[in-house]
Amino acid sequence: MKNSIVDVPGIEIGHAQDEDALTGCTVILARKGAVAGVDQRGGAPGTRETDLLNPINMISRIHAILLSGGSAFGLDAATGVMRYLEEKKIGFDVGVARVPIVPAAVLFDLAIGNADIRPDAEMGYQAAASASAENTEVGNLGAGMGATVGKILGMQNAMKAGLGTASMEIGGGVIIGAIVAVNAFGDVISPQTGAILAGTRSAQVGPIKIGKEGDFADTLEVMKTLTSRTVMKVASRGNTVIGAVATNAKLTKAEATKVAQMAQDGLARTIRPAHTMLDGDTIFALSTGNKKADISTLGAFAAEVMAQAILRGTEEARSAGGEPGLKFE
């Protein structure tokens, strides 16, 4: 086991990024197709082709998921993923062509790096072309290239986060894995102790000092104060945690949707607060196999593995764009 979503048979991961502009995209490739569901929470989502994942709709299998920076501009990268898959003759057969099904979700990273450079179709193509079952990298790459956390006091008091992945075997040969770009409004916390690992740094706001010097301000504590009425006006509007869980258990679209819903609990355990009006947190769930599994058990471990991926994505992030990270070179 590689402690990566690629431990799930049939899943490949590819990344492309611009290290100067601090943006990028990540592709979760399922060449043989995967049953999928999605769960979106928070008030600021940016998505593509998620309606077709509704269990009442016709399409039963997807061929890739795109996670991208660039805000809504980054949805363009899905075109490149489709082009790559079409070249490989992968897609939904409509008789006259094969149409690749590529749902996507984006995060806001325009406030770090160069806002004029965003993931586009070419970057999406590169990410898809690089996809491999051996790709286990984490940190500053792909959709996590420009990811940051703790932004209630603005970007000047935020911290760098990144891309994380994790996996586990839960018995009976069933494997579940997660991948996530950690770009939250809130702080990343230890689910065991509640201690802040990365988030809003202490700051001076006018005559008021928030947090102890060299420590964290604690987003929830800031939100309780009168100061929050002012700082919420300048808090970063650009956030959103996006990711996916995948399993070799056999799922219907409705079951995949339930697993995606339960995987969101991993965000609630490690990000405080999660699912705000300034986030568009979106989690996909993919099924690539035929193993039997109880859906409640699978969903419970989806939350666990998502939490682990969030912590890895935070702990492995290097400083960039003036934002300090936890990972030292």
If one counts every other C-beta atom within 10 angstroms of the C-beta of residue 207, the result is: 5
Q: What is the pTM of this model?
A: 0.95
Q: Parse the chain into domains and list their residue ranges.
A: 5-315
| pLDDT value for 227 | 65
Contact (CB, 8 A) for 53 and 36: yes
Contact (CB, 8 A) for 298 and 291: no
Distant-in-sequence, close-in-space partners of 124: CB < 8 Å, separation ≥ 6: 16, 25, 27, 66, 68, 76, 77, 78, 79, 80, 81, 84
| pLDDT value for 221 | 87
pLDDT by position in tens, the chain (length 329): 999 999 999 999 999 999 999 999 999 999 999 999 999 998 889 999 999 999 999 998 999 999 999 999 999 999 999 999 999 999 999 999 999 999 999 999 999 999 999 999 999 999 999 999 999 999 999 999 999 999 998 899 999 999 999 999 999 999 999 999 999 999 999 999 999 999 999 887 676 777 776 789 999 988 887 566 666 765 666 789 999 999 999 999 999 999 999 999 999 999 999 999 889 999 999 999 999 999 999 999 999 999 999 999 999 999 999 999 998 75
If one counts every other C-beta atom within 10 angstroms of the C-beta of residue 98, the result is: 15
| pLDDT value for 233 | 66
Per-residue pLDDT tens over the stretch 177-218: 999 999 999 999 999 999 999 999 988 767 677 777 678 999
Architecture of domain 5-315: 4-Layer Sandwich (3.60)
| pLDDT value for 228 | 64
* Token pair for 268: 């609630």
Q: At what angle do helices 121-129 and 77-87 cross, to 10 degrees?
A: 50
Distance from C-alpha of 246 to C-alpha of 10, rounded to nearest angstrom:
10
| pLDDT value for 119 | 98
Instruction: Categorise residue 62: left if φ over 0, alpha if ψ from -120 to 50, beta otherwise.
Output: beta
| pLDDT value for 27 | 98
Contact (CB, 8 A) for 174 and 247: yes
